[in-house]
Structure 1
Amino acid sequence: MSSQTIETKPNNGIIADGEATAILPTGGKHKPITVIGTEAIRGTFDELCLQQAINSRTAPGVTDLVLNPDAHCGYGAPVGCVMVSPTHVYPGPVGVDIKCSMSLLQTSLPADAVIDKPTRRALINAICERTPTGAGRGQRNAPKSRRVDEALGRRVLVEGASRGVCEALGIPPEWAERCEDSAHVGHDDSTASLALRLEKLMPQMHNFAGKVTQLGSYGGGNHFGECEVVEFGEDDRSRRVADAFGLIDGGVAFLSHCGSRGIGHQLATGQFKALQQKFDRWDIPLPGQDRELVYAPLGTPEADAYLDDMALGANFATVNHLLINALVLEAFQEVIPGVTGRLVYFISHNIARKEIVDSRPAWVHRKGATRAMPAGHHALAGTPFAETGHPILLPGNPQAGSAVMVADPGAELSCYSVNHGAGRQLGRKAAKRALDQREVDASFDAADILSNCRQYPIDEAPAAYKDFDEVLRSVKAAGLASEVARLKARFVIKDGDKADD
C-alpha cells in the first residue's frame, strides 16, 4: 500500500487502501477482511456489523471474508458479506430465506405504453390477481394463480426448474437457460439424495401442502415486484452489453425480488435448531459466542443434511421466481394483448455455491451478496454470457432506480461478488420512528410511481436505505463492475408484513 492512500479510521479499525477499497484487520494470523466502499459508505458500517464480520472471518475453516457497500447487521454474519470456506458450511451466511433472488423480465412494450395511470392500475390489479404478497399468503389469495398440489410441490423441491416442472406450471422451459442455477442437487451431486432427504423430512414439515401453494408469490418486507422503464448507459460498451443481455432501451421490464418463502424458512430454521442442539450437547465453542454462527465440517452427516436442505429450498426459490415472471407476463397480456416477454436473468443473493477460489474448490457463502463473474470466466463457459459476463441485478429503491451491471476483471478482489442492492441504513423500528408516512406517500405521488398499497410501507421507504448512487460509485471505483442500464420504476407491488430475509 502506498502511504499516500492509507487512511486510518480509528473508530472502526478500517484501513483504506484506495478510493473504494479497504481492509479490516482481525488480529492474529488471519487474512484481513476485504472492505468495498467509499469513505461515505464505510461510515455506514456500525460496530455490530463490523464485529459480526470479524466473528465470521475468524470462524473455523474460513479463508476469506468480503464486506460489501450494502453491509448491515444480520443474523450471525452481516447482510452484504461473502464468506469462503473450503472445509466448512455455515447456515448463517446464507440466512433464513434460502436463495432470496432477483429476476428481470423484458417485455416488448415501449415506455409510453405505461404512461397512462389507468393502464398501470389495471396492470397492478391483474398482477395481484395472480401473484399474492405477504407472509403466509399463497394461491388461495389470488384467484388467477397457478394451482400446485403436494405431488408437484415435491417435484419442484427435488428437480428445480426441470423441463417437466416448467411445462406443468406453464413456464417457458427455455427460461431455465437464463438462470444462474436452474436446479440444485444434493450433497453427493445427485437429485436422488434430495428425494431421500425430502422423504425423511416430510413427517416434520409443518403444513407442507399449504406451503407449496406459495409458489408464484411474493413475501413481505423488502420483497417486491416493479414495473420498470429501461435506460441504457451512454458509452458504447454498456449499450453493447445491455443489448446482448436482451434489454431494450426505452422498453418496459419487470423486476422481482423474493425467495423460498415458507418452505425455505422452515428448512433453514430447522437447520439452525439442529446444529445449535449439537453445539450445546458437545459443548463446542461458538464463533464470537454467536448462536447464529453454527457450522458443520464438510463430509459430516450434519454438513450433508444442510447442503441437501439448502438445495431443496433453492429449487423452490428458483421455480417461484420463474412462475412469478410467467404470471406477470400473463397479466400484461390480459391488459395489453399482444405483448411478449423473455427472461433476462435470474440470480441469487442468499446461497452457498461450490466454486474455485485460489485454484481449489471452496464453498462461497453469499449473504445479501450476488456473484459477479466477468467475460471469459471459466464458470460461464457454455452459457449465453461467456463473452460478456452475466447480468447483475441490483435493486436500489423505486425513486433512485435500480441497476443492471456487468462484472469487470477486478471482481476477483471480492471473490467475484458484489452487493445485492442498496442496503439498509435504518432498521425497521428506527424507520417507523424517524419517517413521516404522509411525506413518504407524497414523494411517491410526486415521482408518479403507483403502488398496490394504500400507504407505502414506511419501513421500506427510500430513506430507510443507503444512498444508491454512492453504493454504485463504490462498486465502480473498486473496479468490480460497470453499469449497463438503469431501471426506473413506474409502479411497485409490495406488502407491509415483516421481511422474509
Structure 2
Amino acid sequence: MHTTLHKPAPTRMIATGEATAILPTETTPPIKVIGTEAIRDTFDDVCLQQAINSRLAPGVTDVVLNPDAHLGYGAPVGCVMVSPTHIYPGPVGVDIKCSMSLLQLDVPADVIEDRQTRRALISAICQRTPTGAGKGQRSVKKSRPVNRTLGKQLVVEGASESVCQQLGIPVDWADRCEDSFHLGHDETRDALGNRLEVLLAQRHMSNFSDKMSQLGSYGGGNHFGECEVVHVGDDDRSRSVAETFGLRDGKVAFLSHCGSRGFGHNLASGQFKTLQHKFSKWDIPLPAGDRQLVYAPLGTSEADDYLDDMALGANFATANHLLINALVLEAFQEVLPGTTGSLVYFISHNIARKEIMDNRPTWVHRKGATRAFPAGHYALRETPFADTGHPILLPGNPRDGSAVMVADAGAEQACFSVNHGAGRTLGRRHANRVLDQATIDKEFEQHDILSNCRFYPKDEAPAAYKDFEEVLRSVKTAGLASEVARLKARFVIKDASKADD
C-alpha cells in the first residue's frame, strides 16, 4: 500500500453515541464513523489516515467509516465516499462489483445432517464452480462453457433475458438483483459496445477469451460459497420481512461471495495505469500524494472511460454470480433430486452508483460497503421490497454465521450504506504467521462444518476477522439496520489463494 502518514493520524475519535462517532479533519466537515468503542479500537492509524485523505480529496462531500473498516487501496475497505463531481477508481478497487448473493433452497436442514450427503454436495458443486485465482470453467468436469461471442454480449448486457437463457439462468432472477445490468457513461449499451471494441485492441485485453472462461467461478482469497441453514428471527417484523425476502426458516440456503474475476482486475489495473500516467504527465497533485487516489472529473473523457470500464466489469460480475447460483442449484438437484431454489438477492459492495442524495445526483462509492435502502426509499418503487427495504447480505464467518438484515430509517446518516461483513483484524501474512492450523481445523470439526479444503486457509480463519457480534451490534445500535435472519454454515467452498479484492 502506498498510503503514508504525513503527520500522525488522529488516535481519538469523538463519540456521538453508543455506536457512532466523528473523525475530525482540519478543513472539512467530519467523517462519520459507525462502530461501538470496541470496534473503533480496531481502526489503526493508517486506516484513519486513508479516511482523512479520502475526505480531503477533490469533490468529495461525505466519507463514512463502517465497523468493518481496515486498510484498503487509497481509501479504506469498509468506507463510503460520495462525490457529485468526481469519480474515484480506488474506492471501487480492483475487484469491480465484488458482491454477495443468496440462494434459498426448499431442502430441510435435517436432510444435510448426514456428512456423506454434504460431502456429495461439495463434490457436485466443485465439479461445476472452480475455485482458485486462475481457474475457470475449463478446469471442471461439468462446466457451462462461455465462448468469446457470449462473453462480449454479457459484459455489455449484464443479466439480460438473452444472456440468462443462454447460460441456463432463470430469467426472473434478474428481478432479485440490486442491479441486473449496467449502462455506459451516457446511459446506453452502445457506449459499452464501443468501449469494449477499443479495449479488445489493447494489449492488456489480449486474454479476453480466457477471462470469459472464468464465468461461473469463485476465485481465491476471501471469496467463497457456503451452505447455510436459515434461522429467521422470532419477532413479528422479522417473520414478515423474511416472507417478503423469500427466506424459509429451517431450510437450507447457499451464500456466495465473489466478483468480476480476472476481467474486472484487468479493467481496473488498466484504469489505474492510465490515470496515474495522466497525473504524472501533467504534474497534477495527488490527494495526500497517494497514487491510489487518482480521480477523473465527471464529464471528461477519462471519467467516461472509467465509468464504461466499471460497467463492463460489473456486468461480468452480475452474470458470474447468477451463473454460480444456477450451477449450485444444479448440483443440489444432482445429489437431492427434486430440489427447487429461488434467488433471495444479489447485492454489491465494490461499486460506484449514481444516486440522489440531498436532492441532487451524486456518485456514491462503496468500497467494502453495502447499499441499505429502507422501506419507502424512492429507488425501491415497483420492486418487491418497496414496503420493507431490500435484503442486506452480511457475511460473518463460518463459526459465528452470517446475517440477513434490512435497513432502518437511520441508514440515511451513513449515506444509505452499511458494512459488507466483519472486516479483517489480522493481515494475511500476520494471520499465517500467528494462527495455529490444528486449532482452526479442530474448531471447524467441533462445529461440524465441512470444507472442500484439506486444511482451511489460516488467513481466512474466523480469528483473522473482527468480532461479528460486535460488528452487528454496532449496526443495530446506530439505527442503520435490523437483523432478519442468521445463517449457520454447514459446509464451505473455499480456496487458499491470494484474495481477489
Q: Per the shorter chain, which TM-score range?
A: over 0.9
SS at the partner of 2:68? strand
- 1:133 equivalent in structure 2: 131
Distance of 1:483 and 1:374 partners within structure 2: 13
Deviation at 1:303, TM superposition (A): 0.1
Q: In the alignment, does 2:215 pair up with 1:215?
A: yes
- 2:360 equivalent in structure 1: 360
Deviation at 1:457, TM superposition (A): 0.4
Report if the CA contact (8 A) 1:19-1:478 is conserved. yes
- 2:17 equivalent in structure 1: 18
Report if the CA contact (8 A) 1:239-1:484 is conserved. yes
- 1:37 equivalent in structure 2: 35
Distance of 1:316 and 1:140 partners within structure 2: 18
- 1:5 equivalent in structure 2: none
Report if the CA contact (8 A) 1:87-1:297 is conserved. yes
Q: Which amino acid aligns with 1:23?
A: I
Show structure 1 runs of 5+ residues with no match: 1-9
Pick one of 110, 118, 141 that aligns with 2:108. Answer: 110
Correspondences of 1:183-222 after superposition (within 5 Å) = 183-204=181-202, 205-222=205-222
Distance of 1:16 and 1:284 partners within structure 2: 36
- 2:237 equivalent in structure 1: 237
- 2:49 equivalent in structure 1: 51
Distance of 2:18 and 2:131 partners within structure 1: 40
Deviation at 1:235, TM superposition (A): 1.1
Distance of 2:488 and 2:59 partners within structure 1: 42
Number of corresponding residues: 491
Report if the CA contact (8 A) 1:376-1:387 is conserved. yes
Distance of 2:372 and 2:392 partners within structure 1: 7
SS at the partner of 2:288? helix
Deviation at 1:243, TM superposition (A): 1.4
Which range moves more in the overlay, 393-402 or 205-214?
A: 205-214
1:98-143 CA distance string (max 9 Å, x none): 0000000000000001100000000000000000001010011111
Deviation at 1:13, TM superposition (A): 3.1
Pick one of 74, 77, 81 that aligns with 2:75. Answer: 77
Report if the CA contact (8 A) 1:374-1:406 is conserved. yes
Q: In the alignment, does 2:264 pair up with 1:264?
A: yes
1:454-494 CA distance string (max 9 Å, x none): 00000000000000000000000000000000000000000
Deviation at 1:439, TM superposition (A): 0.7
1:147-181 CA distance string (max 9 Å, x none): 10000000010000000000000000000000000
Deviation at 1:20, TM superposition (A): 0.3
Deviation at 1:31, TM superposition (A): 1.3
Distance of 2:263 and 2:339 partners within structure 1: 33
SS at the partner of 1:487? strand
Deviation at 1:11, TM superposition (A): 5.9
Deviation at 1:206, TM superposition (A): 2.9
- 1:3 equivalent in structure 2: none
Please report the RMSD computed on the Cα atoms of aligned residues, expressed in angstroms. 0.7
Distance of 2:309 and 2:35 partners within structure 1: 34
- 2:3 equivalent in structure 1: none
Q: In the alignment, does 2:289 pair up with 1:289?
A: yes
Report if the CA contact (8 A) 2:220-2:499 is conserved. yes
Report if the CA contact (8 A) 1:216-1:321 is conserved. yes
Correspondences of 1:292-371 after superposition (within 5 Å) = 292-371=292-371
Deviation at 1:87, TM superposition (A): 0.1
Distance of 2:25 and 2:157 partners within structure 1: 41
Correspondences of 1:169-180 after superposition (within 5 Å) = 169-180=167-178
1:287-310 CA distance string (max 9 Å, x none): 111100000000000000000000
- 2:119 equivalent in structure 1: 121
Report if the CA contact (8 A) 1:102-1:257 is conserved. yes
Report if the CA contact (8 A) 2:298-2:304 is conserved. yes
Q: Which amino acid aligns with 2:256?
A: S
Q: Which amino acid aligns with 1:335?
A: V
Correspondences of 1:489-500 after superposition (within 5 Å) = 489-500=489-500
Report if the CA contact (8 A) 1:222-1:499 is conserved. yes
Distance of 2:140 and 2:154 partners within structure 1: 20
Show structure 2 runs of 5+ residues with no match: 1-8
Report if the CA contact (8 A) 1:394-1:404 is conserved. yes
Which range moves more in the overlay, 434-443 or 310-319?
A: 434-443
Distance of 1:247 and 1:403 partners within structure 2: 12
Distance of 1:190 and 1:13 partners within structure 2: 46
- 2:435 equivalent in structure 1: 435
Report if the CA contact (8 A) 2:271-2:306 is conserved. yes
- 1:385 equivalent in structure 2: 385
Report if the CA contact (8 A) 2:10-2:48 is conserved. no
Report if the CA contact (8 A) 1:13-1:25 is conserved. no
